[in-house]
Amino acid sequence: MSNRPQTNWNCGFCGKQIYWDELFTSLSNKTVVHYACLREKAIKTAKVSQDILNVVLDSLEDELNKIIVYEKRLEKVGDNEEVKKVLEQIEKNVERNATLLTRLVEKLSDVLS
């Protein structure tokens, strides 16, 4: 039995459990998916060139990785409210960026169909 922390979601594409240490995102239809599953489906259903889609997917992957980095940093700051507040704000901005990029993937592919 794994002691990795689980989210409350299963991937809308592969059906497997999503863990907090994995890259994942939420689609506009509220489906939560692994980044790897989203990437695979987006590439298969692309409406634009592979190069353009890869730019967006790679950017999304970068933002999702940053979320994990900030979560780990937040665990280290303890009770320092000033640092915690700034890091939480930065993480919210990164989450917004990831949402914008996820919506762009949806637009540039048929992942929702």
For 15-65, how does the pLDDT look when each residue is reduced to its tens digit (9 = 90+)? 999 999 999 999 999 999 999 999 999 999 999 999 999 999 999 999 999
CA distance to 10, 13, 45, 52, 110, per residue, from 40 (Å): 17, 10, 9, 15, 11
pLDDT at 3 (0 to 100): 81
Residue 2 reports pLDDT greater than 60: no
Domain count, the chain: 1
1 found inside a domain:
no
Q: Are 57 and 105 in contact (CB under 8 A)?
A: yes
Contacting residues for 95 by C-beta, under 8 A, at least 6 apart = 67
113 found inside a domain:
no
Q: How far apart are CA 108 and CA 37, in angstroms?
A: 16
Domain, as residue range, for 80: 6-108
The arithmetic mean of pLDDT across residues 72-97, rounded, is 96
38 found inside a domain:
yes
Kind and range of the H or E run holding 31: none
For 45-59, how does the pLDDT look when each residue is reduced to its tens digit (9 = 90+)? 999 999 999 999 999
